[in-house]
Amino acid sequence: MKRIQKIEAKLPTLKKRKRVAAYARVSVAKGRTLNSLSQQVSYYNELITANKDWEFAGVYSDLGTSGATANREQFQEMLKACEDGKIDLILTKSISRFARNTVDLLEIVRHLKLIGVEVHFEKENIKTFSGDGELMLSILASFAQEEARSISNNVKWGIRKNFEKGKGNSFVLYGYRWDGEKFNLVEEEAEVIRYCFQNFLDGKSAETTARELQEKNIKGLTGNPFSPSSIRAILRQEKYTGNSKLQKTYTDFITKREIKNQGELPMYWTENTHPKIIELDVFNKVQEEMARRRELGALANRAINTTCLTSKIHCSCGRNYQRNQRNQAGRKYAVWMCAGQKEARRNGCINPSIPEYILKNKCAEVLGIHEFDEEVFTERISDINVLKPGLLEFIFKDGHKEKVEWKSTAKKDRWTDEVRLNYSKKRSDPNLNRKISRYNEFTSFVKCEKCGKSYRRQKLYHVNGDIVICYYCSSKKSICENSPVNLSVLEELTAKELGLKAFDKDIMIEKLSHISINDYTLTFHYKDGKKATYKYENPISPKPKHSEETKKKMSKIQKELWRQRHEKESNSDTGN
């Protein structure tokens, strides 16, 4: 017998193309480097699109950025595309274009290799997926890093030689203009410099000086108004004495970040390098005053209303406590509150505000004195830490610490029977309440005849989107269940009773003393003793119309219920 076997047809499988991207970078965004970057981008565009086995995945380029990978936007975007699985291969000109730091380079390459992305370095002819790729890469990357360090050191050597000769490398300074050889004085700007120094010695803050210069429409070199930080920079600039301190900062050759020289490198003091604007002794007095104010903190700023507690109370969330005024039942008192909570940025801070009189009492308790004394406090206590709600830590200047528990009694202390009675009288006065913006004309004007309390406004939101304002008795339902009344009914019947075409609150307040309600009956009480009574009904809100979809759904449910009931009855009959 013949045996026949069917062989299914197979479609030819197309070779999957590699998704290829390229990366290019130049360090300086000017001159011939711009043309170099453009040429690199064009070259990689043509190279990738000409290869039939490759699929173009983009050319990423960074202009005028350092070798630090974190500062390069396009580089980071390329790495994200690799993480998203959009790139299989990266082409780049050389190791130095990719990363100058050997550690960063190896970390990035290893991570890309782990997620299946290969990197080709054209100049060094290194492919990271090859057997000896990583070894060669680490060796050449080290050479590239050392080459960059060598170039940087050569440049720095020339600059430092100039420093030794008293020549600086900064040529832009407010108050002077550089003509290519020396600084020339600009008298108008020099007057501003003298004004800043004199203001500071007169006790004014940098914020005050900046505001005064802005009022006089005096601007800096960039054309922008002086900021407090720029005023402080002027006050710290020794060049205004005609002398120069050189190598105050230095630059890291990889990150290109400017670092303050804290003694790592020698500094040079050169005298009479250019015309002076202020005397050296004036400059030194300003530096001493700045140090003194820095030690005092907020206490040094006369514009701020400070006390002996200012800048000494620290919250566990990292912010300081600030002093605030509060008004309770007509009495003002001070509290100390965490700055984070005051600015509505709690960020997990749970520490409460502390009434000032309680804080002072606890200070006196810790110091062992009968009442709080500013001089004793300043002399003996350096800081107060708010560790958690109800727990303070006092740090003494001799080094020892003491923890004290506290509990707020502000409400009990302030809310006396006398204050409570006065506040109740004010709140019950409808004329007073209507002056407060959050209340309306019927606040404390509509009274309940059953319990004597005022009616309270409430918004009702219906399913059809309507918003209805009603008034309800403010007592609990378990105590009083008097009938509610709609705002529209109140306004309509009030206008009808007063003979008005439309409701007018001023006429109502002029003629009526109040309105009372008892079981859907309104009584208008006139100031002359007359009364008028009306029965009312609140309008019924129309039921929302069902959509066609809802109707079909309800019909289906009803049919199913009918079917189940019919089957149940049929089974019952058969059984009988």
The 10s digit of each residue's pLDDT in 369-392 is 888 888 888 888 889 999 888 899
| DSSP-assigned states of every residue in 148-178 | HHHHHHHHHHHHHHHHHTT--S----TTEEE
The C-alpha R_g of the chain, in whole angstroms, comes to 41
pLDDT of residue 175: 84
Q: In this predicted structure, which of 107-111, 199-203, 430-434, 562-566 has the lowest mean pLDDT?
A: 430-434
User: How crowded is residue 412: how many other Cβ atoms within 10 Å of its Cβ?
Assistant: 8
Residues near 301 by beta carbon (within 8 Å), at least 6 away in sequence? 205, 293
Counting DSSP H helices and E strands in the chain, the numbers are 18, 25
Strands 249-251 and 176-178 come out as unpaired
Is the entire prediction scored with pTM above 0.85? no
Give the CA distances from residue 425 to residues 35, 327, 329, 476, 512, in Å, rounded to whole numbers and listed in that order: 83, 18, 12, 22, 20
Asked if residue 60 lies in contact with residue 23, where contact means CB atoms within 8 angstroms, the answer is yes
pLDDT of residue 522: 92
Q: pLDDT higher for 390 or 145?
A: 390
Residue pointed to by tokens 């300081």: 320
Asked if residue 29 lies in contact with residue 38, where contact means CB atoms within 8 angstroms, the answer is no
Q: pLDDT higher for 247 or 286?
A: 286
The 10s digit of each residue's pLDDT in 32-49 is 555 677 888 888 888 888
Fold of 176-300: Hect, E3 ligase catalytic domain fold (3.90.1750)
- Candidates 277, 311, 307, 105; CA nearest to 196 is 277
Q: Which class is domain 18-149?
A: alpha beta
Q: Which letter does DSSP use for residue 130 in this model?
A: S
> Strands, E, within 381-474: which ranges?
381-388, 391-396, 401-405, 446-448, 455-461, 467-473
- Candidates 114, 62, 58; CA nearest to 90 is 58
pLDDT of residue 574: 55
The rounded distance, in Å, linking the Cα atoms of 364 and 473 is 49
Q: In this predicted structure, which of 58-67, 81-90, 237-246 has the lowest mean pLDDT?
A: 58-67
Q: How confident is the model at residue 525 (pLDDT cuts 50, 70, 90)?
A: very high
Strand-pairing partners, residue 384, are 313, 394
Strands 313-315 and 381-388 come out as parallel
Domain ranges in the chain?
A: 18-149, 176-300, 313-413, 429-535
Q: Which letter does DSSP use for residue 247 in this model?
A: -
Strand-pairing partners, residue 185, are 176
Q: How far is CA 102 from the centre of its chain?
A: 36
